[in-house]
Structure 1
Amino acid sequence: MNLEQALLVIGNAHDNELPVAALDVAKTNWSAFYAELEQIIDQFVADDSSLTDEQNAVLFFGTLLLAELKYSPALSKCLQLFSCSDSFLTPIEGVFGDAITELTSTLFYNVANGNTQALSDYIVAGHQAMYGKASAMEAVFAQYEVGTIDKAELSEHITLWLAAFLALPSSISSFLMSALADSCIEYQLDDLKSQFIGLCDKDVFDEYRFKQDEVKAWQSLDGRKLIESGIIQTEFNLVDTLNSWAEGDGSDDEVFDNPSIDSLSSDNLSNDDLDVFDSLMGEGGLLSNILYDENTILENSVPVSSLATAGRNDLCPCGSNKKYKKCCLQ
């Protein structure tokens, strides 16, 4: 398989079929492959709606290969790529899905190769990449964890981040303030305790990300460290990671096994199931209007204000018996 063929295979990867052989070809011909990837990144940055499905697939796999290969020359491109709004249903979330929250910190850590200043500049920049900035903060904390920077350097970065978040109050800034407070507590940066607690009366924290009461308590419950716990993978393997996602890996994160609504059509049912299907989807059936009837949706909706809330270290209110940070917060 040559590189051109590999690009076609990667671009047409579907469902659980990872393009393992094609990715090996991409790594073997890395210079040429990266040139193609760089062009796609530039195109996405210029117009995030202009890529074909095939280009989106190459962007997804290629960007994560940067983390596996620790390709530091791509740092500036990565930071450009992840400098756009990355919340649910944004174009970049459409490309990377769960990897936005699960793997971007690993990408930034491995590609930055100790360049915490570039990550810090990205964090204080004026773009709207909420999860990207949170991931960059984690990558800097991980550099502190391994001793690349010392406590004094980390504190300098944190001071700049706090000033930036407080200067432009927003829901994004509140999310980042809570994420930062969480990390400072987990890494036992007690010198900053009074400063964060002093902000608790200013409504600057995101109660869904990390509660104000948790900031006031200032207690690390499990001593979570990013590299130690595997949240950031210093020896990242793309295929192994995606295979573990597809298999569930003991969790509910199955990103390569997402059946579409088409699988509910009568064409995909056996004759024995047709009567059941008709009774559910036909007129008056239990599911006949659940997808399309606005009144039905409104009548069966639960107000957001009535939903249970949880701190990052609390049990998830969904009933999974996992901590919130390991479940629905992700």
Structure 2
Amino acid sequence: MSIIKIGYNITTDPTFLDKQNAITLELSRKLERFHKLAVEGKRSSVQKLLDAIDQYPDNPQLKNYLSVLYGLLNETEKMYDTNKWIIAEHPNYLFGKLNLAHEYYFKQEYDKMPEILGSAMELKALYPDRDTFHLNEVISFYKCATLYFTAIGDIEQAEIRYDIMQELAPDSEDTETARLQIFAATMKAGHERFEKEQKTRISVKTRSQKITSTNKAPNFIHEEIDWLYSHGLYIGEEKLNKILSLPKDSLINDLELVLLDSIVRYGYFKKLDEENGWDEEKMNFVVHAVYLLGELEAAECLETIFDVLSQSDAYFDLFLGDFLTSAIWEPIYKIAINDLEACKEFMYTPGLDTYARTTITDVLEQLALHHPERREEVLTWYRDVIQFFLDSSLEDNVIDSDVIALLICNVIDIHGAELLPEIEQLFERGLVSQGICGAWKEVKEAFEHPDTYDKVKEILPMADRYDIITSTWASYRDELSSPPADFFDFSTSSQMPVRAEAKIGRNDSCPCGSGKKYKKCCLNK
């Protein structure tokens, strides 16, 4: 990774560029008015700015304002012509260079951007004789560099420059634009990688869901079980404790019957969903039953849990949703950690959903992290499962390259370098979805240089977990965040030239983009 070392000073002095930009005292008093003319976007302002340019021909900002105005008027060619005019008359004016670089960006002529901004995409390299830059120059330059690197697919270099922006001006709109651009590029690259890998991915043929005509509810020993069918995750600790206080054996029987009911009456519940929409209060009974069995540490019902995890993708979509990939491992951990052999046999079952199996590999990871004394036992389990995949053929309908990749991630998290020889064989056999865990070289490096991030997940009481889910998961928050932009949409920066800010008064907004008044932000820095 190439790291940028900033070898220059950064100032927020609004008069710093006055001499370079030929800003006289007379012009400085007018710049704010000219800036306002530009951003208001009125056609009548074009001639006013042209007259000002005739009066102050040595000032590049006025031409930049004209370029901004043409952009707002959707006169793109005139905007481009003005950008070239700025470069011709003011070749060292950074914002003129940035305007032209943006033009090349929007024309998708990315190879021309380094011709303007330098191959290093570094401000000091572009202006080697300067020792000081204004903060606005630095942030605008790195935003443009971020656009370039995301456009050519070099997300790593984009992130290096974003980190600098984040450190210098975390509240700047340009910094936020850079972040969104990197997010969009990362999503786009991930999508393209996913599409590519789908062509080589090894998957199993999962079972279809059996649908019966049964619609009669089961008879439970305890009437409190009916609460599970009429309350969502806001069921409350009082009701949960009341259920958990019931006689254990009969309660376990009732909870297993709930899980069996979800399978037998799948067709009934699916029809309800199709006719009325998914009802959080009526469709979380499977989640409730699994979590309650976890609270009871009901190891005797492990086969019933495996029966649930052996259902179809359609079943999981209806009853488990995000729980399957994010949360259901926790109650299963409480149920399964003393029967690793049964967990292993489940992994060997043909036709299972990817995330049903990785739920179990996640359980084993957390077992090793929570109980280091059992680490060797867990490593042996992983080794046996890996060997099973190596010994299997595609016809066995058990090899899932995504499962294998995610299992490798589990082994990395527990620093299981002892399994490197077996993992290398998986790569040699082409059984690994490398978009998930990385190529062999990256995986080997991850084992040799493990990160220090704590992979231990909290194992909480059911009520506490429900509180966290209902307060953090998007589907349970009252006000949802705006959805992310389509990752093919690179329109987060409009086709506008880079704006050199007008002279800033004490009570004007600060040029750093913080949203604060200048006198309360950069004035005294």
- Place the TM-score, normalised by the shorter chain, in its bin: 0.5 to 0.7
| CA gap 1:57/1:119 in 2 versus in 1, 3 angstroms | same
| CA gap 1:17/1:189 in 2 versus in 1, 3 angstroms | closer
Distance across 2 between alignment mates of 1:33 and 1:101? 27
Aligned equivalent of 2:239: 22
Higher RCO by CA contacts (8 Å cutoff, separation 6 or greater): 2
Normalising by structure 2, we get a TM-score of: 0.42
Aligned equivalent of 2:344: 120
Alignment of structure 1 residues 157-168 onto 2, 5 Å: 157-166=381-390, 167-168=392-393
How far did residue 93 of structure 1 move?
A: 3.0
| 1:7 pairs with 2:225 | yes
Distance across 2 between alignment mates of 1:117 and 1:171? 17
Letter in structure 2 aligned against 1:156: T
Does the 8 Å contact 1:40/1:55 carry over to 2? no
Could you say what secondary structure the match of 1:84 adopts? coil
How far did residue 33 of structure 1 move?
A: 3.6
Aligned equivalent of 1:59: 286
Alignment of structure 1 residues 247-266 onto 2, 5 Å: 247-248=471-472, 253-257=473-477
Letter in structure 2 aligned against 1:73: E
Aligned equivalent of 1:132: 356
Aligned equivalent of 2:463: 239
Alignment of structure 1 residues 114-263 onto 2, 5 Å: 114-145=338-369, 146-147=371-372, 149-151=374-376, 153-166=377-390, 167-169=392-394, 173-212=400-439, 213-219=441-447, 221-223=450-452, 226=455, 228-230=456-458, 233=459, 236-248=460-472, 253-257=473-477
How far did residue 182 of structure 1 move?
A: 1.3
Does the 8 Å contact 2:312/2:353 carry over to 1? yes
Aligned equivalent of 1:41: 259
Distance across 1 between alignment mates of 2:299 and 2:379? 24
Normalising by structure 1, we get a TM-score of: 0.64
How far did residue 134 of structure 1 move?
A: 1.0
Aligned equivalent of 1:297: none
Distance across 1 between alignment mates of 2:415 and 2:298? 31
How far did residue 193 of structure 1 move?
A: 1.4
Distance across 2 between alignment mates of 1:217 and 1:171? 28
Worse-superposed segment, 158-167 or 217-226: 217-226
How far did residue 150 of structure 1 move?
A: 4.8
| CA gap 1:173/1:184 in 2 versus in 1, 3 angstroms | same
Stretches (4+) displaced over 6 A: 52-55
Letter in structure 1 aligned against 2:305: C
Does the 8 Å contact 1:186/1:224 carry over to 2? no
Query: In the comparison of the two structures, how many residue pairs are matched?
Result: 248
Distance across 2 between alignment mates of 1:129 and 1:63? 18
Distance across 1 between alignment mates of 2:437 and 2:334? 26
How far did residue 178 of structure 1 move?
A: 0.7
Structure 2: where are the runs of 5+ without partners?
1-220, 273-278, 481-485, 490-525
**Which entry has the higher C-alpha Rg, 1 or 2?**
2
Could you say what secondary structure the match of 1:204 adopts? coil
How far did residue 203 of structure 1 move?
A: 2.7
| CA gap 1:174/1:79 in 2 versus in 1, 3 angstroms | same
Aligned equivalent of 1:280: none
| CA gap 1:47/1:216 in 2 versus in 1, 3 angstroms | farther
Deviations 1:213-253 (A, max 9, x none): 53242335434565x343xx1xx3122112112212xxxx2
Letter in structure 1 aligned against 2:287: F
Does the 8 Å contact 2:231/2:282 carry over to 1? no
| 1:105 pairs with 2:329 | yes
Does the 8 Å contact 1:98/1:255 carry over to 2? no
Does the 8 Å contact 1:246/1:257 carry over to 2? yes
Distance across 2 between alignment mates of 1:258 and 1:133? 33
Letter in structure 2 aligned against 1:36: D
How far did residue 78 of structure 1 move?
A: 1.0
| CA gap 1:68/1:210 in 2 versus in 1, 3 angstroms | same
Distance across 2 between alignment mates of 1:149 and 1:34? 28
| CA gap 1:172/1:245 in 2 versus in 1, 3 angstroms | farther
How far did residue 257 of structure 1 move?
A: 4.1
Does the 8 Å contact 2:234/2:470 carry over to 1? no
Distance across 2 between alignment mates of 1:171 and 1:35? 31
Could you say what secondary structure the match of 1:199 adopts? helix
Letter in structure 2 aligned against 1:21: E
| CA gap 1:172/1:50 in 2 versus in 1, 3 angstroms | farther
Letter in structure 2 aligned against 1:256: Y
